């Protein structure tokens, strides 16, 4: 049985509309993906860190209740689980303000997993490029490559991190080079590469990794997939969003679910995947993303 491994940060999202807090959920890009994968019965192992305060204990219980196995660094030396304030605009898109407490050293025990060939590793967001934990993340990625794991990388790069881009750009490029599948939004690639359309983003990504399968999402305009010289497109049905928090994360969950559903491992990716299968994966991923957009939750419903 293919095992799913995920690696990312854990925060607690508090959502604001018109300046008023309206709800909260355990969050973090990869956590959102992991919970949806847990609800799909894939029981991911989630490599993350949070603290043993009241918020952290509630998050741990939530993960376990939703079929996710958290592998956490619990630090009790005056640290607190991180919080993210998400302010929704009139289009239900979020701007974030973070309150984070980080360990002063890299916890090497976090970045270990029992990989086997054709397992899947999903990672990304700023956690995937944090200088403080880069050595451990590199070790995890290298082990995944050596074991023949399908690596799915989503940079999920946002404007507040632009001042850090010169420092972390080498890490983004290393992650892209290591990935079997790269998924990102038009916003991600515009910020990272100043690539403002699909062709420009594709050129930038293929310069670094000519062999990866690439999923490029465009919100309400749908998505495109580049695979072995071919481009497959998928439309996004019109919806009225409640919140776009977690949309891309659940698209990622749809990609991982599709790999498992269609039994696609490294050999299958290298030899080529049929366009209809790719379209099925994209349609499923779009459904997951849209369902999350039509709720105040960060994950697909039970």
pLDDT interval class at 184 (50, 70, 90): very high
- pLDDT tens digits for range 71-88: 876 665 667 888 888 898
Residue 105 pLDDT > 60: no
Give me the long-range contacts of 52-57 (CB less than 8 A, separation at least 24).
Answer: 52/76, 53/79, 53/80, 53/81, 55/12, 55/80, 55/81, 55/83, 56/81
* Comparison of pLDDT for 63 and 93, the residue scoring more: 63
Contacts of 142 (CB under 8 A, 6+ apart): none
Residue 243 pLDDT > 90: no
pLDDT interval class at 292 (50, 70, 90): very high
Q: Which two tokens stand for residue 227?
A: 């695979």
Q: Kindly report the length of the chain.
A: 302
Segment 189-212 mean pLDDT:
98
Write the DSSP assignment of 79-92 as a string of letters: ----EEEEEE-TTS
- pLDDT tens digits for range 126-164: 999 999 889 999 999 999 999 999 999 999 998 888 999
pLDDT interval class at 215 (50, 70, 90): very high
- pLDDT tens digits for range 2-42: 999 999 999 998 989 888 888 888 999 999 999 999 999 99
Which residue is associated with the tokens 């999920």?
Answer: 156
Contacts of 130 (CB under 8 A, 6+ apart): 137
Integer angstrom CA distances of residue 44 from 69, 150, 223, 302: 6, 14, 25, 16
Residue 3: other Cβ atoms inside 10 A: 17
- pLDDT tens digits for range 107-128: 666 788 899 999 999 999 999 9
Q: Which two tokens stand for residue 225?
A: 């997939």
Alpha-carbon span 51 to 60, nearest angstrom:
10
pLDDT interval class at 102 (50, 70, 90): low
Nearest Cα to Cα of residue 131 among 158, 176, 161: 161
Per cent of the chain over pLDDT 70 is: 95
- pLDDT tens digits for range 43-59: 999 998 888 888 888 99
> Cα-flanking dihedrals φ and ψ of residue 47, to 5°?
-90, 115
Q: Which two tokens stand for residue 31?
A: 């956590």
**H or E segment and range at residue 275:** helix 275-293
CATH superfamily for 4-293 is Ribokinase (3.40.1190.20)
Nearest Cα to Cα of residue 48 among 14, 74, 85: 74
Per cent of the chain over pLDDT 90 is: 72
Q: How many degrees, rounded to 5, is the angle at CA 65 between CA 64 and CA 69? A: 20
pLDDT of residue 132: 85
Q: Which two tokens stand for residue 82?
A: 């991180």
Chain mean pLDDT for the chain: 92
Alpha-carbon span 227 to 273, nearest angstrom:
8
Alpha-carbon span 169 to 280, nearest angstrom:
33
User: Contact 114/47 with Cβ under 8 angstroms?
Assistant: no
* Domain boundaries along the sequence of the chain: 4-293
Residue 191: other Cβ atoms inside 10 A: 18
């Amino acid at each position: 049985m293919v095992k799913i491994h995920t690696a990312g940060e854990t925060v607690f999202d508090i959502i604001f509309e018109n300046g008023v807090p309206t709800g909260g959920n355990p969050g973090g890009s990869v956590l959102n993906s992991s919970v949806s994968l847990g609800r799909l019965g894939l029981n991911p192992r989630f490599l993350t860190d949070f603290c043993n305060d009241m918020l952290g204990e509630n998050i741990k219980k939530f993960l376990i209740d939703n079929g996710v196995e958290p592998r956490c660094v619990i630090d009790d030396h005056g640290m607190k689980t991180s919080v993210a304030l998400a302010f929704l605009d009139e289009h239900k898109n979020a701007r974030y303000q973070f309150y984070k407490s980080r360990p002063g050293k890299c916890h090497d025990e976090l970045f270990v997993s029992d990989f086997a060939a054709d397992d899947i590793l999903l990672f990304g967001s700023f956690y995937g490029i944090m200088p403080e934990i880069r050595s451990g993340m590199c070790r995890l990625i290298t082990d995944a490559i050596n074991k023949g794991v399908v690596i799915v990388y989503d940079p999920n790069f946002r404007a507040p991190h632009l001042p850090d881009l010169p420092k972390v750009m080498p890490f983004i490029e290393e992650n892209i080079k290591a990935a079997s599948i790269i998924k990102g939004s038009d916003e991600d690639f515009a910020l990272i590469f100043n690539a403002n359309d699909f062709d420009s983003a594709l050129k930038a990504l293929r310069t670094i990794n000519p062999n990866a399968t690439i999923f490029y999402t465009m919100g309400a305009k749908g998505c495109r997939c580049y695979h072995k010289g071919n481009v497959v497109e998928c439309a996004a049905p019109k919806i009225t969003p409640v919140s776009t928090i977690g949309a891309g994360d659940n698209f990622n969950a749809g990609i991982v679910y599709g790999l498992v559903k269609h039994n696609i491992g490294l050999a299958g990716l290298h030899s080529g995947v049929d366009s209809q299968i790719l379209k099925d994966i994209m349609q499923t991923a779009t459904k997951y993303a849209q369902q999350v957009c039509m709720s105040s939750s960060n994950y697909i419903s039970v």
